[in-house]
A and B are shown apart, each in its own frame.
Chain A
Amino acid sequence: MRGAFTRTLLELAEQDPRILLLTGDLGYTVLEPFAERFPDRFFNVGVAEQNMVGLATGLAEAGLIPFCYSIATFISLRPYEFIRNGPILQRLPVRIVGVGGGFEYGTAGATHHALEDVGVMRLQPGLTVIAPADYEQARTAVLATWARPGPIYYRLGKDDKTTVPGLGGRFELGRAQLIRDGTDLMIITMGSVASEAASAAAALADQGISCTVGVVASVNPAPVDDLAALLARFPLVLTVEAHYVTGAVGSLVSEVVAERGLGCRVVRCGVRVTPDGLSGSQGYLHQMHGLSSNAIVRTALHQLQAHREMK
């Protein structure tokens, strides 16, 4: 997604001189095409995320559109208050770009795992929050949103090869995208772990269980009406996200169920504990936190069984 992001931003920057790219010393082998094409509009500000967001605030007030790039944990958490008191409270078009949602920086360890970025960003009503599921959707989402008034958080993945089956790069602000339609179970997912959810749905289909799978990339504005309509059709929903279970899609779906008075039970698949220091690949960490396709299948079967027994 980060490659798709850079290519898309480059195209946009050719058309609009207001676009600037700032990085907190990250993006080696990714951002060079922009830096080489627009050396006067590219700033490596050094390892200084707070200053990067403060600079962007001053730049945006003057009519420019700065994109601030770093690893998702660094750009969402270190300068959080600068994001809040700057572009959010002052309604300025600063774009915060966080790379590596969830466990994408697997072996880099817990300091690099973005498990709460979407949650803290979604707390801010004045911040558009976009979490694409694959690189095609990332491109569509950036094209659809970059010129919006007010600030935006983009949570991007590192993967520029995998596509989520059935998604076809679709994105619409405030809408959810259905990638599979079924009748037995609903799965709502966000971010690049959507491909695990899609695999799980395919494996469940082989066992005679048909799933509807929805992708939420427009986290704020949230696709509340879409979700309410989908959730009304199912007694059981699984949310799947490489994120703590509080704050992002699991919370969003629970809110919709509660606020709309729906009778749907919500099972949140995500990270429930503080990381214990054990590191490994993204695949390993997904497995450990119940987010691999196999683990999602197991959870789905278990919850469907439990649901039948409750009835």
Chain B
Amino acid sequence: MEAVQGPPLSPHQIRRIVLHQSKRAHVGHIGSALSIAEIMAALYAHVLRIPDPDDPDRDRFVLSKGHAALAVYAALHLKGWLTKEELNTFCADGTLLGVHPEHALKGVDFSTGSLGHGLSIGAGAALAARLRHSQRRAFVLVSDAECNTGSLWEAVMFAAHHRLANLVAIIDLNGQQAFGYTNQVLSLTPMGERWRAFGWDVHEVDGHDVEAITQAITGLDTSSGPPHVLIAQTVFGRGVSYMERQIKWHYWPMSDAEYQQALEEIDATS
């Protein structure tokens, strides 16, 4: 499924928007948004069945790592569902485009921002599809640090017990959280074995390869069997050398010089 208008829905375009809007609004959470650019591109360009954001039978998408909402806004803009003018209200007074996503914005299915919340919502959306005899699916993008929360594992157990084959979780395994590296804060290793032990169908994938992500998802049996999880190996801050794997870029905003360098780097590697 291609973008209906505007520039092509590519990771490069998503990164450009993330950098531009973060700079304009002088806010952080840049590294977290950059690490999911390919996942967003795969989902919105190739995976999600959304004829229209208001279609009741569309696939549902939950950005459980809500702090990366800017990457979703970028995708919505590139799909043609969010105008440039709307995008330019990011973090302005009276906007629906805050740092975390708000359901009142067309294209956002659920408000999120408190980690550990989204997978249970996605499980509910998947269960609703089953009860309504719909083929629609629910996709939930969680952060690796979100797997610290007990509530996430409640949802993991429920989805496996009820064999919600139409539920797909994607873990942005960038190895970082707000105040440190995940292996230093609260070890999540081995991530895949944990989910497998809970009864999920586990796939490991390069989180910066749009084609690999797309193929992994399109190969899933979403009509029967266990729920699915893609463990997407990513690099925090991907594409901007001074942000990659750096804790400070969870919250830090860019200076003018940093913005210029970031743009040059992502343009050079696109």
Q: Which of A54, A59, A61 is in CB contact (< 8 Å) with B117? A: A54
Contact pick for A90, options B56, B110, B131, B150, CB 8 Å: B110
Partner of B120, one of A40, A46, A51, A90: A51
A54 and B124 within 8 A (CB): yes
Contact A55 B119 (CB under 8 A): no
Contact present for B120 and A50 (CB under 8 Å): yes
Give the chain A neighbours of B120 by CB distance below 8 A: 50-51, 53-55, 57-58, 82
B126 within 8 A of A: yes
- A45: contacting residue among B109, B114, B158, CB under 8 A: B158
**What is the size, in residues, of chain B's interface with A at 8 Å between Cβ atoms?**
32
Pick from A54, A59, A90: contact of B111, CB below 8 A. A90
- Give A46 to B120 CA distance when docked, in angstroms: 13
| A residues less than 8 Å from B118 (CB atoms) | 54
Judge whether A48 and B124 touch: CB under 8 Å: no
Which residues in B have their C-beta under 8 angstroms from that of A85? 111-114, 117
Query: Would A54 and B123 count as touching, CB distance under 8 A?
Result: yes
Q: Which of B111, B125, B138, B157 contacts A48 (CB 8 A)?
A: B157
- Chain B residues in 8 Å Cβ range of A40: 131
Q: How far is the CA of A64 from the CA of B123 in the complex (A)?
A: 14
Q: With A56-B124, A62-B129, A90-B103 known to touch, is A81 a contact of B114 (CB < 8 Å)? A: yes
Residues of A within 8 A of B56 (CB): 62-63
B158's partner among A20, A55, A64 (CB-CB below 8 A) is A55
User: What sequence of 0s and 1s flags, for each residue 48-81 of chain A, a beta carbon within 8 Å of any chain B beta carbon?
Assistant: 1011011111111111101000000000000001
Q: CA–CA, A238 to B129, complex, Å?
A: 50
Binary A-proximity of B121-136 (CB < 8 A = 1, otherwise 0):
1111111110110000
Interface string of A126-163 (1 = CB under 8 A from B): 00000000000000000000000000000000000000
A201 vs B114: C-alpha distance in the bound complex, in angstroms?
48
| Complex interface: chain B residues within 8 A of A57 (CB) | 110, 120-121, 124
A58 and B121 form a contact (CB under 8 A): yes
Contacts of A81 in B (CB 8 A): 114, 117
Closest chain-B Cβ to A123's Cβ sits at a distance in Å of 17
Q: Of A50, A58, A60, A63, which contacts B138 at CB under 8 A?
A: A58
B131 touches A54 (CB 8 A): no
Q: Which of B117, B138, B150 is the one whose CB lies under 8 Å from A82?
A: B117
CB of B170 within 8 Å of the partner chain? no
Specify the main secondary structure of chain A where it touches its partner. Answer: helix
Q: Do B128 and A59 touch (CB < 8 A)?
A: yes
Known: A54-B120, A56-B124. A61 touches B110 (CB 8 A): yes
Q: How many Å lie between the Cα of A180 and that of B121 in the bound state? A: 46
> A206 to nearest B CB, angstroms?
54
Say yes or no for B223: interface residue by CB 8 A criterion: no
| A93, CB-defined interface residue at 8 Å | no
How many chain A residues sit at the interface, stated as a range, is 20 to 34
Looking at B110, B113, B121, which has the most chain A CB atoms within 10 Å of its CB? B121
Known contacts A54-B151, A62-B129, A46 near B157 by CB under 8 Å? yes
* B 144-163 to A, binary, CB cutoff 8 A, 1 in contact else 0: 00000011001101100000
Let me know if A51 and B151 touch, CB within 8 A. yes
Asked whether A62 and B125 contact (CB < 8 A) given A57-B110, A85-B113, the answer is: yes
- For A40, the closest partner residue in chain B by CB is B131
Q: Is B117 a contact of A86 with CB atoms below 8 Å?
A: yes
Cα A86 to Cα B138 in complex, Å, equals 17
Partner of B126, one of A43, A56, A58: A58
Smallest CB separation, B200 vs chain A (Å): 15
A198 to chain B, nearest CB (A): 41
Least distance between A308 CB and chain B CB atoms (Å): 53
Tell me which of B113, B114, B128 contacts A58 (CB under 8 A). B128
User: For residue A43, which residues in chain B have a CB less than 8 angstroms away from its CB?
Assistant: 127
A89: Cβ under 8 A from any B Cβ = yes
Name, among A20, A50, A56, A63, the residue most crowded by chain B CB atoms within 10 Å (CB to CB): A50
Q: Closest CB of chain A to B123's CB: distance in Å?
A: 6
Closest to A53 in B: B120
Contact between A51 and B155 (Cβ–Cβ < 8 Å)?
A: yes
On chain B, the residues within 8 Å of A62 by CB distance are 56, 124-125, 128-129, 132
In contact, B114 and A54 (Cβ under 8 angstroms):
no
Output the least CB separation between A26 and chain B (Å): 16
Flag if B155 contacts A54 (CB, 8 Å). Answer: yes
Interface string of A6-49 (1 = CB under 8 A from B): 00000000000000100000000000000000001101011010
Sample of 12 A–B contacts (CB below 8 Å): A46-B158, A53-B120, A54-B117, A55-B123, A55-B124, A55-B158, A58-B120, A58-B128, A59-B131, A61-B125, A64-B131, A85-B112
Query: Would you list the 3 A-B pairs with minimal beta carbon distance, nearest first?
Result: A58-B124, A54-B120, A62-B128
